[in-house]
Amino acid sequence: MGDYYENNAKRYAEETFSADMSEQYGRFLPLLREQARILDVGSGSGRDACYFQDQGYKVTALEPSKNLCMEIRKVFSGEIVCSDIQSYQPEERYDGIWACASFLHLREKEVLRFFEKLDLYLKDNGILYLSGKNGIPTGEAADGRYFLEFTEELVEKILAVNDRVRIEGLWYTGDVNGREGFRWMNVIFKML
How do 139-140 and 122-134 pair as beta strands?
Answer: unpaired
Domain ranges of the chain: 4-13+22-191
How do 79-81 and 58-62 pair as beta strands?
Answer: parallel
**pLDDT given at position 177:** 87
pLDDT > 70? residue 1: no
Percent of the chain with pLDDT over 90: 97
pLDDT > 60? residue 43: yes
Question: Mean pLDDT, to the nearest integer, of 126-153?
Answer: 97
Rounded to 10 deg, the angle between the 66-75 and 9-16 helix axes is 40
Q: pLDDT for 60-78, tens place per residue?
A: 999 999 999 999 999 999 9
Q: pLDDT for 146-170, tens place per residue?
A: 999 999 999 999 999 999 999 999 9
CATH of domain 4-13+22-191: 3.40.50.150
**pLDDT given at position 2:** 56
